Amino acid sequence: MTLPTRPLGRTGHQATIIGLGGEGVLRTYDFEADAQAVINAALEAGIRYFESARAYSGSEAYLGRGLKGHRDQIFLTSKSHGRTYKEAMAHLSVTLKNLDTDHLDLWQVHDVRSMAEVEALGAPGGAYEAFRQAKEKGWTRFIGVTGHHDPEVLRRALDLYEFDTVLLPVNPAEPAQASFLPLAAEALARGLGVIGMKVLCRGKLPRMSEDPEALVWELLAYAWSQAVSLVVVGADKPEQVRLLAAAARDFAPMTPEEQRSLEEAVAPFASELMYYKP
């Protein structure tokens, strides 16, 4: 199966508009059969973007085993929460071993939360040097940054450093408070690949609906109607992966009026849905 693709900013890569996130069942240990069923379902459905992180329990190791033999067909990403050169490089070594590869397609600074943290990345001995060096040496093709606490913090990171991508929240609760959506549009206009996360608000929104499956389709359509290259979503079961892929194949952009209507409907619950903000 083939899925729609979009340019991942100026990287030159055409990314499937849905990627398999490293959470869900992948963010566990000792659920090998369940994790491999989800990975296999993603491959069979045409998903070619796979995300993980050093902080995501056994996610990298699951992917390393499940994607064996498919490395040249996929876009493989992970993240490091290390904030020093030494920590980040140590994470990269483990990540490459776990994923059974000699390079990543994208390596991301994971979850920046404060201005002080952003500034420290570029200080002597800071993690940004590890990311820059990894790209120069071919251990990763591209580098990115992620965050979901404060759009101004993430904006500062993009202003200070040369990143290729940004990963940020994209869902209809966002406009209610400190929205990341304007930053997504700015980043895409600057040529960065923009990756949406928190699309389903960790499943909180679908669980509030009388028709959860229909709402998943609507939330994905909302996200793809924003300034994004793709979105990543985790899954617990193969049928969830197949639902994500089906929504991608049938995606039609939401009108501005439809988007506003959905935003207004979720606004009373926005604080609960944006659990990822302080």
Instruction: Give the whole-angstrom CA distance, residue 159 versus residue 45.
Output: 37
**Mean pLDDT value of segment 247-264:** 98
pLDDT of residue 209: 84
Q: What is the pTM of this model?
A: 0.97
Q: What is the mean pLDDT of the chain?
A: 97
- Whether the per-residue pLDDT at 30 is higher than 90: the answer is yes
Domain ranges of the chain: 5-273
Instruction: Give the whole-angstrom CA distance, residue 119 versus residue 177.
Output: 25
**Mean pLDDT value of segment 140-152:** 98
Proportion of the chain above pLDDT 70, given as a percent: 100
pLDDT of residue 159: 98
Give the model's confidence band at 202: pLDDT under 50 very low, under 70 low, under 90 confident, else very high.
confident
**Mean pLDDT value of segment 94-103:** 98
**Mean pLDDT value of segment 56-74:** 98
145: helix, coil or strand?
Answer: strand
**Mean pLDDT value of segment 242-257:** 98
Q: To which H or E segment does residue 2 belong?
A: none
pLDDT of residue 182: 98
Q: Determine the Cα angle at 186 with ends 180 and 187, to 5°.
A: 85
- Whether the per-residue pLDDT at 52 is higher than 80: the answer is yes
Give me the count of residues in the chain.
Answer: 278
**Mean pLDDT value of segment 174-184:** 98
Distances (CA, A) of 220 to 33, 47, 72: 27, 15, 27
**Mean pLDDT value of segment 198-219:** 90
Give the model's confidence band at 205: pLDDT under 50 very low, under 70 low, under 90 confident, else very high.
confident
Instruction: Give the whole-angstrom CA distance, residue 25 versus residue 264.
Output: 32
CATH of 5-273, one of 2.60.40.10, 3.40.50.300, 3.40.30.10, 3.20.20.100: 3.20.20.100
Give the model's confidence band at 39: pLDDT under 50 very low, under 70 low, under 90 confident, else very high.
very high
Instruction: Give the whole-angstrom CA distance, residue 47 versus residue 3.
Output: 7
